[in-house]
Amino acid sequence: MLNNEPTEPNQARARVLFDLIAIGLVVAVLTSIHYTNYHYEVDYHILLQFAYYLPVIYAAMRFGPAGGIISSFIITLLFIPLMWHMQADLSPAAKYTQWVEVGLINVIGWLTGILTEEERKAKRKYKLALMIQKELVEKLKREGQERERLEGEIRQTERVTALGHMSAGLAHEIRNPLGIIKVSIQMLAQEKCDDGVVSEYCRVLLEECERLNRLLSEFLSFARHKELVREGIRLEKLLDEGVTLVQPALRQNNIKLEQARSQVELQEVEVDPDQIKQVILNILLNAIDAQGEGGVILLSGVQEKGFVGFAVSDEGPGILPDALPYIYDPFFTTKETGTGLGLSVVHRILDHHGGKISIANRSEGGVRVEILLPLSH
């Protein structure tokens, strides 16, 4: 594209030069015919004058009013000496006709130029109106998409709120009997420590109790509306602390985390650091879980007007298109051991911060998660 840019003005200049030469040659040829054949009859010269309309009209159409006026003026200057020379041989009617023809050449040049310019202005206005119309259509389309997104977020928030209240009450009711069951199993394991079968069963039961306890903790974390304790902090610091927390999981799965450093990370955001660290941790752990064994996860800064954040891209299998609309719903999960609350918690935290999350499958495979937070004012 860069190589074509200089040639376009050159082509335009060459076209202008060609047109000027062509108009000049036609005028010169017609004038030379007049002067070299002046002894012919007057009617011959009057008919030949009509040919002058061609270069005048073309000049007016090509260069506008200036082209029409200048070309007709030059033709008038070239033809007047011949008219004076032929005055003695002309009848009054012929003299009058010749002057009328000269006047018409000038009028035609002027009118054609003005009409051509008006047509060009009309075309420019039409193109401008068409461009504005396209921009309005695009704007309406974007506003429609934004409205659909906001409506989806409102529905999501309503579902999360209702389910959160239910989860909080249910988690509290379950936690007490679960604690009693756990203590009872521990006591049974101590009493039957010599019985290998009973000890094994107790071990499995304790692991399941622990798993249920973690699940309840996630329910409570999801259900509680924790007040934000905002403070200004660099995005770089939040990301570095989040990466440090997932290093063991990265090593365990032989995954390499590539962090693309940029000026974006030096921006400051006013957030609750603990909650945003939870967001970073959840997104990175999801990427590790989706990646499986080996491969590379890319962490990079992103920015748009009024927002700054980060993007995490993995090389996993991606998300099924049918599942994408439900990924933020509480308890919706495609993992065998997942609770379906991770992204719901992330969505809720970002919603309280005025942030945004977007998740999409990558064309080269895997998923890209983009988190945006409002910039500090």
Q: From first to last of its 377 residues, what are the pLDDT tens digits of the chain? A: 444 445 677 887 888 888 888 888 888 887 787 777 655 555 565 667 777 888 888 888 888 888 888 888 888 887 777 666 665 565 666 666 667 777 788 888 888 888 888 888 888 888 888 899 999 998 888 888 888 878 877 776 676 666 666 666 666 677 778 778 888 888 888 887 777 788 888 888 888 888 787 777 766 666 666 677 888 899 999 999 989 888 988 998 999 999 888 888 888 899 999 889 989 998 998 899 888 888 899 999 999 888 999 999 999 888 888 888 878 776 667 766 666 677 888 888 898 888 999 999 988 888 999 999 998 76
Q: Is 369 left (phi over 0), alpha (psi -120 to 50) or beta?
A: beta
Which amino acid is present at 327?
I
CB 90 within 8 A of CB 42: yes
Cβ–Cβ contacts within 10 Å for residue 97, how many?
Answer: 16
Nearest residue to 278 (alpha-carbon basis) of 242, 302, 250: 242
Q: How far apart are CA 102 and CA 50, in angstroms?
A: 10
Q: How far apart are CA 285 and CA 290, in angstroms?
A: 8
| Residue 218: half-sphere exposure toward Cβ, Cα within 13 Å | 18
Residues forming a β-bridge with 367 = 361
Question: Whole-structure pTM over 0.75, yes or no?
Answer: no
Q: How far apart are CA 352 and CA 150, in angstroms?
A: 14
Q: What is the pLDDT of residue 107?
A: 85
Q: What is the pLDDT of residue 174?
A: 76
Q: Determine whether 230 is exposed, middle or buried from the number of CB atoms within 10 Å of its CB (0-12, 13-18, 19+).
A: middle
CB 60 within 8 A of CB 112: yes
Cβ–Cβ contacts within 10 Å for residue 248, how many?
Answer: 9
Residues, the chain, total?
A: 377
Nearest residue to 83 (alpha-carbon basis) of 69, 104, 100: 100
Tokens of 302: 């992103």
Helix (H) or strand (E) holding 238, with range, is helix 235-252
8-state DSSP, 192: T
Helix boundaries (H) for 87-225: 92-191, 196-223
Q: What is the pLDDT of residue 348?
A: 82
End-to-end Cα spacing for the chain: 40
Cβ–Cβ contacts within 10 Å for residue 206, how many?
Answer: 15
The interaxial angle of helices 7-36 and 53-86, nearest 10 deg, is 30
Q: What is the pLDDT of residue 122?
A: 87
- The residues near 215 (Cβ < 8 Å, ≥ 6 apart) are 339
